[in-house]
Amino acid sequence: MLKEVDATRFITPLREGGSLPGLVEADDFGTYVLKFAGAGQGRKTLVAEVVCGELARRLGLRVPRLVTIGLDPVLGLGEPEEQVQELLRSSGGANLGMDFLSGALGFDPLAFPVDAREAGRIVWFDALVNNVDRSWRNPNLLRWRGELWLIDHGATMIWHHNWPGAEASAARPYDAADHALARFGPEVAAAAAELAPLVTEDLLAEVTAEVPDVWLDGEPGFDTPDDLRRAYARPLLARAAVIHERVSGLEGAK
């Protein structure tokens, strides 16, 4: 289970990406990036963050620690901006938090070379979860203490927006042409040989168990949160076996 903390202070909204996460302080004295349950795609974004973040971590990729953050909408009363106030107001209860990597730099592919093995692992992982949000325009990679960290897995697993078509959707290939690491000659086949055997039913059960029930409850077509957890696991298990043969766009990448 993810650690649970309560927000004690809203520090500031973070503006780089699209979704307007917030920076908060919590009752364990930690500083966290908070993703609002009440934001646009809401709970599905948070589920994707947990499933992919916890899976990536177990595959040996670096992802900041995830927690759930209880939010009392009263914290937003002093916020000058209407948009932020609205998010705070609509996000009572559990939100997603991520350790704030203080002093991290946004990844710049021109300034930081990445070795082909590491690039291969990250591209393979992104292909597995169908991450469309790691392009050179918007890498969602941070450089912290000399190493690469993965953030922002909200736009993955597109199939979870349409469960009846999930199997067909998850059978599709992955286009890596715009991937932030395409230029580093990612060794995707080597990464698949190393990582695909780790993506087992047990591992996926462990990963999906980390998602709080409140973000899974009430999904049409599913009786229980555990049924939905299994639905998250299935396409990933199927893709793990084959996706390395279905990554396009890396030929001639530089």
Ligand X SMILES: Nc1ncnc2c1ncn2[C@@H]1O[C@H](COP(=O)(O)OP(=O)(O)O)[C@@H](O)[C@H]1O
Residues with Cβ within 8 Å of 139's Cβ and at least 6 positions away in sequence, in order, are: 106, 107, 109, 180
CA distance 67 to 32: 9
Among 98, 150, 216, 233, binds ligand X (CB under 6 A): 98
191 burial via Cβ count (<10 Å: 0-12, 13-18, 19+): buried
**Residue 212: which of Mg ion, ligand X, none does it interact with, CB under 5 to 8 A by kind?**
none
Fill in the per-residue mask, 10 to 49: x = in contact with Mg ion (CB under 5 A), - = not in contact. Answer: -------x--------------------------------
Phi, psi angle pair for 155, to nearest 5°: -105, 55
Fill in the per-residue mask, 116 to 145: x = in contact with Mg ion (CB under 5 A), - = not in contact. Answer: ------------------------x-----
**Residue 210: which of ligand X, Mg ion, none does it interact with, CB under 5 to 8 A by kind?**
none
Residues binding Mg ion: number (CB under 5 A): 3
End-to-end, the C-alpha distance of the chain in Å comes to 41
14-22, 89-97, 188-196, 201-209 -> range binding ligand X (CB under 6 A): 14-22
Place of tokens 């969602």: 140
Residues with Cβ within 8 Å of 32's Cβ and at least 6 positions away in sequence, in order, are: 5, 7, 23, 24, 25, 26, 67, 69, 97, 98, 99, 100
CB-nearer residue toward Mg ion: 107 or 124: 107
CB-nearer residue toward ligand X: 5 or 33: 33
CA distance 78 to 189: 52
In the chain, the amino acid numbered 181 is L
**Residue 104: which of ligand X, Mg ion, none does it interact with, CB under 5 to 8 A by kind?**
ligand X
Q: Do residues 177 and 253 touch, judged by C-beta distance below 8 A?
A: yes
Residues binding ligand X: number (CB under 6 A): 19
Tell me how far, at minimum, the Cβ of 188 lies from ligand X, in Å: 24
Among 11, 75, 84, 104, binds ligand X (CB under 6 A): 104
Determine the Cα angle at 13 with ends 79 and 211, to 5°.
110
CB-nearer residue toward ligand X: 107 or 124: 107
CB-nearer residue toward Mg ion: 98 or 199: 98
Quote the tokens at residue 196. Answer: 């695909």
Beta bridge partners of 99: 32
Q: Site residues for ligand X, window 20-49 (CB under 6 A)?
A: 21, 33
Among 16, 108, 167, 213, binds ligand X (CB under 6 A): 16
Query: What residue ranges bind ligand X (CB under 6 A)?
Result: 14, 16-19, 21, 33, 64, 98-101, 104, 106, 140, 142, 151-152, 154
Query: What residue ranges bind Mg ion (CB under 5 A)?
Result: 17, 140, 152
